[in-house]
């Protein structure tokens, strides 16, 4: 007994040491494992350290990186998954989707075709759809979306959507995407039928109602379009595209009773953080309709701050400033407009008008009108206003010839005929005055020769005040508030 006690006492320190070692080792493993469980990424990376041939783990790591918008890193793991298991359809879909996110569309299409080719072939007498995993149907949508970027391949994309629908009759997203393609193909009646078919499977989907609104808008049926936009908003009050396009439509319809709703919808977009030039611009257009011109000016300037080449905002702001007797303030915005859009005819007309009437720079005005005529040789306004430049310079005969040309281009335009009459009247008066002056000089010469009065002098400068109240001015009545209609896009 004494010997046993002695032996236990002898090994006691060793046993305590082993116990401490085991506890420390397991504590370290626990701490390490806690780090592994810190996120999905670390969990799946820990799994790959154990098994480097597991395609599912590579895909999961890729998904974790993709969720952080680390597309290049995600692509690396998706590619590894496709190499670890070449027949993994999901891996090839992941590769294609990531290439698409990286805007490498050719590579994306190649990956999607690989995935599609791996789908099981149909068996005789067995529905194809029964043998396709639901999540693998996405390859049809992804491939069609990439192909449809090329407008010459829209029919090809449509065929893919039809194939997807044939495999799954209630595939709502396929209906929505196919309707978009049909609208681009200008087959709006078919698009309408596709969306109405989709409603049979999902009558509470706001996107379908929104897209039906787009169809009616394309068909020129604004009232019906607004009904469907409003229905989408009833189902989803913050549906961004319905908010935006319904507000634009209300503005274009011009119904003053509905403007408050349009304001509220655009303001909601701002509160949601959708700070973009389209929201600001359409708030500006609504303010102009309500004659709240200072507010409109502020909104247009905000739109230009967001996008400095915003064609319609630049022009409408310049037009507003010109119409409110601030033409010189309009000039910088017109120059900015023409910097990005040198072919903006209305902008050139308005700038030329300001140069003639306010800056008195006839050379600059002439350059504006000649720029238009280089693009549109038969533009009546440009031809007429160039005639005004000639007249302002005192070149009446050149002005008359120019107005004759303008009258030939637009024989029914009364203002051109009126201005032509004014110029011809001036020329007749000038000719009559010149004839009288010549007769007077001849008479004076005769008197001088007869009377020998050498001190008489004739002042040939006319001191007669021109009482002709008619004058020519640049024609700008066709310059209007170029309302920018936003392209309605399908969700």
Asked if pLDDT for residue 485 goes beyond 60, the answer is no
* pLDDT at res. 39: 58
* The three-state (H, E, C) secondary structure of the chain, written as one string: CHHHHHHHHHHHHHHHHHHHHHHHHHHHHHHHHHHHCCCHHHHHHHHHHHCCCCHHHHHHHHHHHHCCCCHHHHHHHHHHHHHHCCCCHHHHHHHHHHHHHCCCHHHHHHHHHHHHHCCCCCCCCCCHHHHCCHHHHHHHHHHHHHHCCCHHHHHHHHHHHHHHHHHCCCCHHHHHHHHHHHHHCCCHHHHHHHHHHHHHHCCCCHHHHHHHHHHHHHCCCHHHHHHHHHHHHHHCCCCHHHHHHHHHHHHHHCCHHHHHHHHHHHHHHHHCCCCCHHHHHHHHHHHHHCCCHHHHHHHHHHHHHHCCCCHHHHHHHHHHHHHCCCHHHHHHHHHHHHHHCCCCHHHHHHHHHHHHHHHCCHHHHHHHHHHHHHHCCCCHHHHHHHHHHHHHCCCHHHHHHHHHHHHHHCCCCHHHHHHHHHHHHHHHHHHHHHHHHHHHHHHHHHHHHHHCCCCCCCCCCCCCCCCCCCCCCCCCCCCCCCCCCCCCCCC
Mean pLDDT of 421-444: 74
Look up residue 87 and give its two tokens: 């027949």
Asked if pLDDT for residue 328 goes beyond 60, the answer is yes
In angstroms, rounded to a whole number, what is the distance separating the alpha carbons of residues 20 and 28?
12
pLDDT grade, residue 37 (50/70/90)?
Answer: very low
Burial 377-390 (b: 16+ CB within 10 A, else e): eebbbbbbbbbbbb
* pLDDT at res. 381: 94
Neighbours of 104 (CB within 10 A): 16
Look up residue 138 and give its two tokens: 């996405």
Asked if pLDDT for residue 85 goes beyond 80, the answer is yes
Of the candidates 140, 163, 137, 145, the residue with the CA atom closest to the CA atom of residue 101: 145
* pLDDT at res. 409: 93
* pLDDT at res. 42: 67
pLDDT grade, residue 143 (50/70/90)?
Answer: very high
Residue with tokens 């989408």: 232
Answer with the residue of higher pLDDT: 170 or 27: 170
Neighbours of 392 (CB within 10 A): 19
Asked if pLDDT for residue 36 goes beyond 90, the answer is no
* pLDDT at res. 472: 56
Share of the chain above pLDDT 70, in %: 76
* pLDDT at res. 228: 97
Mean pLDDT is lowest, of 12-26, 113-127, 222-236, 343-357, for 12-26
pLDDT grade, residue 212 (50/70/90)?
Answer: very high
Asked if pLDDT for residue 355 goes beyond 90, the answer is yes
Q: Work out the mean pLDDT of the chain and round it to a whole number.
A: 83
Mean pLDDT is lowest, of 234-238, 300-304, 319-323, 395-399, for 395-399
Asked if pLDDT for residue 442 goes beyond 60, the answer is no
Mean pLDDT of 120-131: 61
- CATH architecture of the domain formed by 342-435+471-477: Alpha Horseshoe (1.25)
Share of the chain above pLDDT 90, in %: 62
Mean pLDDT is lowest, of 90-94, 208-212, 263-267, for 90-94
Asked if pLDDT for residue 340 goes beyond 60, the answer is yes
* pLDDT at res. 401: 94
| pTM for this prediction | 0.74
Mean pLDDT of 406-412: 93
Asked if pLDDT for residue 450 goes beyond 70, the answer is no
* pLDDT at res. 34: 46
Mean pLDDT is lowest, of 282-296, 418-432, 475-489, for 475-489
The dihedrals phi and psi of 429, each to the nearest 5 degrees, come to -65, -40
- For residue 390, the number of C-alpha atoms closer than 13 Å in the C-beta half-sphere is 20
Mean pLDDT of 166-189: 94
Mean pLDDT is lowest, of 53-62, 250-259, 457-466, for 457-466
In angstroms, rounded to a whole number, what is the distance separating the alpha carbons of residues 63 and 291?
53
Mean pLDDT of 152-169: 94
Residue 487 region by backbone torsions, left for phi larger than 0, else alpha for psi between -120 and 50, else beta? beta
* pLDDT at res. 43: 66
* pLDDT at res. 221: 95
* pLDDT at res. 473: 58
pLDDT digits (tens, 9 = 90+) for 2-24: 454 555 566 566 656 666 666 55
In angstroms, rounded to a whole number, what is the distance separating the alpha carbons of residues 301 and 303?
5
Asked if pLDDT for residue 28 goes beyond 70, the answer is no
Mean pLDDT of 312-340: 97
Mean pLDDT is lowest, of 15-29, 323-337, 362-376, 459-473, for 459-473
Q: Where are the domains positioned within the chain? A: 291-337, 342-435+471-477
């Amino acid at each position: 007994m004494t010997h046993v006690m002695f032996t236990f006492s002898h090994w006691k320190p060793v046993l305590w040491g082993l116990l401490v070692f085991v506890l420390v080792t397991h504590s370290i493993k626990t701490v390490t494992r806690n780090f592994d469980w810190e996120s999905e990424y670390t969990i799946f990376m820990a799994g790959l350290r154990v098994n480097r041939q597991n395609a599912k783990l590579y895909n999961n790591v890729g998904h974790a990186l993709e969720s952080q918008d680390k597309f290049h890193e995600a692509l690396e793991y998706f590619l590894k998954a496709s190499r670890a298991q070449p027949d993994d359809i999901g891996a090839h879909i992941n590769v294609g989707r990531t290439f698409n996110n990286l805007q490498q569309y050719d590579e994306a299409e190649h990956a999607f075709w690989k995935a599609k080719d791996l789908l099981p072939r149909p068996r005789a007498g067995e529905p194809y759809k029964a043998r396709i995993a639901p999540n693998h149907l996405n390859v049809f949508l992804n491939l069609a979306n990439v192909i449809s970027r090329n407008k010459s391949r829209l029919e090809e994309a449509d065929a893919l959507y039809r194939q997807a629908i044939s495999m799954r009759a209630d595939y709502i997203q396929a209906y929505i995407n196919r309707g978009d393609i049909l609208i681009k193909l200008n087959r709006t009646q078919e698009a309408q039928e596709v969306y109405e078919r989709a409603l049979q499977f999902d009558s509470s989907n706001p996107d379908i109602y929104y897209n039906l609104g787009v169809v009616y808008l394309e068909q020129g049926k604004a009232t019906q379009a607004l009904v469907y936009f409003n229905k989408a908003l009833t189902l989803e009050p913050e549906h961004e595209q319905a908010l935006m396009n319904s507000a634009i439509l209300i503005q274009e319809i011009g119904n003053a009773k509905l403007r408050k709703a349009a304001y509220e919808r655009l303001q909601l977009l701002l509160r949601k953080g959708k700070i973009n030039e389209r929201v600001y611009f359409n708030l500006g257009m609504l303010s102009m309709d309500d004659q709240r011109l200072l507010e409109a000016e502020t909104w247009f300037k905000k739109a230009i701050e967001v996008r400095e080449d915003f064609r319609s905002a630049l022009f409408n702001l310049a037009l507003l400033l010109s119409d409110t007797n601030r033409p010189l303030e309009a000039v910088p915005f017109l120059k900015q407009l023409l910097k990005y859009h040198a072919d903006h005819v209305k902008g050139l007309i308005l700038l030329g008008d300001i140069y003639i009437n306010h800056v008195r720079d006839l050379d600059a005005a002439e350059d504006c009108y000649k720029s238009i005529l280089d693009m549109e040789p038969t533009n009546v306004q440009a031809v007429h206003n160039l005639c005004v430049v000639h007249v302002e310079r005192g070149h009446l005969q050149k002005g008359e010839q120019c107005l004759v040309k303008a009258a030939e281009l637009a024989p029914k335009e009364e203002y051109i005929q009126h201005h032509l009459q004014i110029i011809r009247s001036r020329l007749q008066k000038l000719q009559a005055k010149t004839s009288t002056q010549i007769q007077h000089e001849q008479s004076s010469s005769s008197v001088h020769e007869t009377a020998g009065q050498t001190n008489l002098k004739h002042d040939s400068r006319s001191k007669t005040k021109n009482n002709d109240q008619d004058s020519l001015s640049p024609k700008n009545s066709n310059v209007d508030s170029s309302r920018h209609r936003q392209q309605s896009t399908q969700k």
